Chains A and B, each alone.
Chain A
Amino acid sequence: MAELKQVSFPPEILARIAPDISLQRHLSIGLRPNLRNFTEFKPIDIASNNELTENNNNVFGSSVIKSGSTTVINTITLGVVEVNSSTKSATTEQLGNAGYTTVYPVIEIARGRSGAPTDEEMILSQTLHETLLHSRLIPKASLSINNYGAAVYDATLSNYSIYYPDLNPQEFELINFNHSKSYTFVLLSHIKIFSRQKSTSALFDLCHLSTVHALSRLQLPRVYISDTTSGTKVSVKSRSSNTRGLVGLSRSNINIDTNKELFYPLVLNNSEDAMVDSSGPFDHSGVSSNFGVVTVADADKEGNDEEGKRSILLADLEGEAEESAILSRLSIISNKSNTIKKISLINGDGNSEISLDILKQALEIAKLRAQQM
C-alpha cells in the first residue's frame, strides 16, 4: 500500500482552496490573514482635491477614496425631472419619509470582464440607494429648482444673455417668460471601483463613505430656459443595440448655467447651514462599519464554552478567506451624535451566531469609529 505523504501549501494557495481552514489556522494563533487586529479597520484615505468636478462641466460633485489598493471614484451628475406643483406645498416634516429623496447610484466594479452588472453591483447600488433614503439625508426641497432664468438673444451683441428673476429683476420683467412647469434635480451617481479586495461588506462601507463625501462637496447650478422654437421631441426607441432597452434622446430646452459663481451647495438634512454640519460631512449621515462573526475551535484557551469554541468578532472583512468563510455579518451605520442610522444582521452560519454580547461589542466599536472619522 502506498504511503500517503502530507502536502503543505503556501498560505496564499491554502486561502484559495480551503479558505475556512486557512482562516481557522490564522485565528487560532491570534492573527488574521490580512494581519490586522481583530477589531481594527483598514485605514482610508480621502482625496482632498476636486479635480474631477473642476475638469468636467457636467460633474457637480465627486470623491476619490483609497483603502489599501482599492480605489473608489464617485461622480455625481444631474438630471432633471418634472414635478407636480401641488406636492410642493407640504413641508418636509409633514411629509415624513416622503419628504426625503436619495441618490441613484450605478456601481461598476472593475473586474476584467465586461458585460451586465453583477448581482453584487446591483445589490450594492440598491442598498446604497435605500440607505440614503431612510437616513433622511437629502430633503426633497433641497433639490427643487427655483428662479428659472431666461436666455435672450441680443442681436447687437450677437450672443445670448441670461437673466434671472431674482438677480436681474428689471430685465426679467421685460421678457415674455411663460414657463409653468416645475422641475427638481435628480442626483445620478456613478461609482467605479478599482482593484477591489474581495469583500462586499467592506465595499458597501466605502461606497457609502464615498457618496456622503461627494454629496458634501456637491454644488448645484442655476438653471435657465432657452427659447422654445426647437420644440420638444418625443423620445424614440433606438434600434441600435447600444441603447438596448433604453429610450433614445429627447430634446429639451432646460439648460445649466455654467457660471460657477452662482453655484450653491446642496442643503442636507434640513439644516439651515449649507454643509451637513459645521464640523464634518459624516456627522449626520454617519459612517458605515462592517463586521463578521466567526467561531474558532481551540480546545485549550480560556473563555471557551464546553465544546472548546469561542466566537470572535472581526471588523472590516477583507480577503478571500474571510469573505468566503465568514457568513454571519453585521453592518452598522452610526453617526457622531451616537445615533444608529442603520443595522443589518445576518446569521448565516449556525455555528457562528451573533450573540447579544457580540452585538454590543460591535455597536461600541462602530460608534467609536464614527466619532473618530
Chain B
Amino acid sequence: MSDRRRLIGPLNTIIPNIGISSNATEADVFKGPSSATRNEDGLRQFFLKTGIIENANGSAYLEVGGNIIQVSVFGPRPIRGSFVDRASFSVECKFLPYISQPNEQLYNNTTVNAGSTANTGPTNANANGRTGLTNIEQKISSYIETALLPSIVLEKYPKSTIDIFVTILSTESSNSGSTKVDAALLGISNWVLNCSSVALVDSGIELKDVVTSGVATLKNDKLLLDPEVISSGEDNENTLTCVVSFMNLRNDEIVGFWMEGDQSKFEESQVEQLIDGCNNMSRQVRANINSYFTSTLE
C-alpha cells in the first residue's frame, strides 16, 4: 500500500466519500449557469494569456466558464538515438489529482459506494499517489495529438521531439463526478485544444496553420454552441454533441472530429448542422486569438 517515493499518508488511510449535505435546501444544487457573458452567436468570453511559464518554450493559460487550462510546450528538444528525419510529437494531458474528471465513473474504473447516497464523490483511492494517466486523460491526450499533428511542420526539426504538457486546473463539471453528459468531456477537449494551439504559436515552432476548435450540441433540434454543464440532472437523451477542430486558413479542413450522443435519430443533416456550428465557433475563436496576438505584439 505504500508508495516509497511519495508521502501519501499513514498506511491505513481511507478517503471518505463526499456525501450529501445535511442542509436540505443546499442538497444537490449546482452553481447554476455561469454569469459568463455570451455574444450573439453563443460563444462565451474567454481569458487568454501566453508566455507565463519561463522554463517552457511556449505556454498558454486559458479560462472560460469554470474551466482553467494551462499548456506548456517543450521543444524542439534533442532526442538520443539514431537519426529521424522529422520531429516526434507527443501530448500529455493531466488533471490536478483531486479534480473529478468528466464521466469518470464510466471510464476510469472508479467505484461507487452505495453507502454514499448521492454518488457524487471522486475515486475512493488516494489520488495523490496516482502514477500514470487515467483513461480519460489518455483519450483527451490522443485527441489533441491527432488534431495538432497535421499543423506542425515536423520536417523542419529532425532528430527532435516536441512535447506538449497540459494541466487542467479546474473544470466546470468538477462537482458532478457522476456526470454522464457528453458535453463535459467534449467541451473540455475543445478548450484544451484551443489553448494548446495558442501555446504552440507562443513557442515559435513552425506551423502550417493555427488549429482552432468548436464544440456544439444538438438537443431536440436546437443547436447550442459551447454548451455548459449546468445541472446534474442533464443526460444525453435526444442529444448529439461533437467537437470539431479545423485549420481555418486551409479551407477549413477538419483535423479533429469526435461525436457522441444519443442515437435515436441520427441523420446526415444533423451532422452537417453540427459541423457548421462548430466551424462557426472555431472561426470566432480564431478571430479572438488573432486579435490577442496582434495586441500583445504592439
Contacts and interface: CB of A to CB of B under 8 A. Distances in A.
Contact of B19 (A190, A226, A235): A226
A166 to B, nearest CB: 12
A114 interface: yes
Contacts of A223: 16
B114 A230 contact: yes
Interface in B62-103: 66, 70, 72, 74, 92, 96-100
Interface string B168-187: 01100011000000000000
Contacts of B5: 116-117, 122
Interface string B106-119: 00001101111100
Given A190-B128, A242-B134, A227 B115 contact: yes
Given A77-B98, A104-B7, A255 B16 contact: yes
A255 B55 contact: no
A56 B98 contact: yes
A69 B53 contact: yes
B139 to A, nearest CB: 14
Which of B98, B163, B165 gathers the greatest number of chain A CB atoms within 10 Å? Answer: B98
Interface residues of A, number: 77
Given A106-B128, A246-B3, A259-B23, A196 B16 contact: no
Q: What's the interface size class on B, roughly?
A: 35 or more
B117 A151 contact: yes
Contacts of B7: 104-106, 125-126, 129
Given A75-B98, A125-B6, A251-B124, A195 B52 contact: yes
A202 to B, nearest CB: 14
Interface in A187-201: 188, 190, 192, 194-197
Contacts of A153: 117
Contact of A194 (B53, B99, B121, B127): B53
Contacts of B55: 111-112, 195-197
Contacts of A228: 115
A55 B128 contact: no
Which of A56, A190, A258, A262 gathers the greatest number of chain B CB atoms within 10 Å? Answer: A258
A252 B14 contact: yes
Given A77-B128, A162-B20, A252 B113 contact: yes
A160 interface: yes
Nearest to B1: A247
A111 B57 CA distance: 11
Interface of B: 1-10, 12-24, 26-27, 52-56, 59, 66, 70, 72, 74, 92, 96-100, 110-111, 113-117, 120-134, 163, 165, 167, 169-170, 174-175
